Amino acid sequence: MRQLLVTGGAGFIGSNFVRYWLAHHADDRLVVLDALTYAGNLESLSGLESLANYQFIHGDICDAELLEEILPENDIDTIVHFAAESHVDRSILGPEAFIRTNVQGTFTLLEAARKAWVNARRGQRLVHVSTDEVFGSLERHEPPFTETSRYRPNSPYAASKAAADHLVRAYFHTYGLPVLTTNCSNNYGPYQFPEKLIPLTIINALENKPIPVYGDGCNVRDWLHVEDHCRGIEAVLAAGEKGQTYSIGASNERENLDIVQQICNCLDGMLPSKRPRRDLITFVTDRPGHDRRYAIDASRMRNELGWHPTYAFADGLEQTVRWYLAHRRWWERVRRGDYRHYYAQQYGVSEA
């Protein structure tokens, strides 16, 4: 039986992980720590409150005192660290919050774990959930990223995650902290905040609004269903080697424009409209420093941990589209407040 602390558990991947874990590990106890920033949403965890082995704590990973209380009080032996500022465009508009949470926050968490786990028991583990963006951008002909790829972060977001990865590595080598890092490719699925490409496209297409595509739309991302990512973290927790890093991805490279068109076609099939929704596609100014291509070689996950993705992309995308259709209340609520201001600033439209 494990006692888990999940940071950032009210966000997209965190909330999917919490649901997945409680459904598959009913004997474990799970504490979620989340600051409930614009991206955190308790509604993504609704229905879990009544479980005796689940607790939510509203708090900040930069709060050392709080962490130093939570870890021993709950006898935490497993930490899954999702909490982060996660959106590249916001990191370009305002990088400071990214340095605070992703760098300072990860440092604070590592220090708290080091203190709490001073007499390391067998089985204690901290999984730091990172991203393929730390490796920079690939040319079309280059092989996908692996665990040995060079760090070459290009956005403030990627640089802040790279800094966190380095701290995690250093805490293993210097203090022997039982850490593991995962570098995952782009996730999609239920509960993703609508600032990201896939939910943004679904929602704008549903509302008959322009669908903004940056640059020429030919940037490539390697898409993985969020549940497959959660299963990957589960595999790393179960059998990963301490101090190691694991690249997670589905070898599912797609150009942005293809994804957007696929979503439009999918919606046209489900809810026919007068004009094909692909007519809403609008090419807009490119993201500064926009990475051209990400791709992951997940051989280590497959060969050493026996993990493999289970979702075919077309099925996962259709399931995701259906989820947004069925959860209008969820996305209408998260879009209120700060998001309207951000959207207006990012896409140069009025805040109405």
Residue 82 interacts with, from ligand DAU, ligand NAD, none (CB under 5-8 Å by kind): ligand NAD
User: 78 or 219, CB closer to ligand DAU?
Assistant: 219
Set 54, 157, 191, 246: catalytic member: 157
Q: Which of 28, 11, 14, 157 is nearest to 89 (CA)?
A: 157
Is residue 231 involved in binding ligand NAD (CB under 6 A)? Answer: no
Could you tell me if 197 and 256 are in contact, meaning their C-beta atoms sit under 8 angstroms apart?
Answer: yes
Is residue 155 involved in binding ligand NAD (CB under 6 A)? Answer: no
Instruction: Mark 1-30 with x for binding to ligand DAU (rule: CB under 6 A) and - for no binding.
Output: ------------------------------
Residue 105 interacts with, from ligand DAU, ligand NAD, none (CB under 5-8 Å by kind): ligand NAD
Pick the binder of ligand NAD from 91, 106, 149, 187 (CB under 6 A): 187
- Known active-site residue 304: no
Pick the binder of ligand DAU from 6, 71, 129, 200 (CB under 6 A): 200
Q: At what angle do helices 256-270 and 197-206 cross, to 10 degrees?
A: 40
DSSP string, 273-338: -SS-GGGGEEEEPPPTT---B--B--HHHHHHH-------HHHHHHHHHHHHHHTHHHHHHHTSTH
Is residue 194 involved in binding ligand DAU (CB under 6 A)? Answer: no
Distance between CA 214 and CA 237 in Å, rounded? Answer: 37
CA 234 → CA 22, 32, 338, distances in Å?
Answer: 12, 16, 34
User: 113 or 263, CB closer to ligand DAU?
Assistant: 263
User: 69 or 255, CB closer to ligand DAU?
Assistant: 255
Is residue 12 involved in binding ligand NAD (CB under 6 A)? Answer: yes
Residue 88 interacts with, from ligand DAU, ligand NAD, none (CB under 5-8 Å by kind): ligand DAU
Q: List CB contacts of 240: < 8 A, sequence separation 6 or more.
A: 127, 180, 246, 305
- Known active-site residue 133: yes
Is residue 249 involved in binding ligand NAD (CB under 6 A)? Answer: no
H helices present in 78-196, as ranges: 88-93, 96-98, 106-116, 156-175
Residues in the chain: 352
Neighbours of 97 (CB within 10 A): 15
261: DSSP letter:
H
Distance between CA 308 and CA 297 in Å, rounded? Answer: 12
- Known active-site residue 318: no
Radius of gyration of the chain (CA): 20
Instruction: Mark 47-86 with x for binding to ligand NAD (rule: CB under 6 A) and - for no binding.
Output: -------------xxx-------------------xxxxx
Q: Where on the chain is the footprint of ligand DAU (CB under 6 A)? A: 86-88, 131-133, 185-186, 196-197, 200, 212-214, 219, 221, 256, 287, 294
Catalytic site residues? 132-133, 157
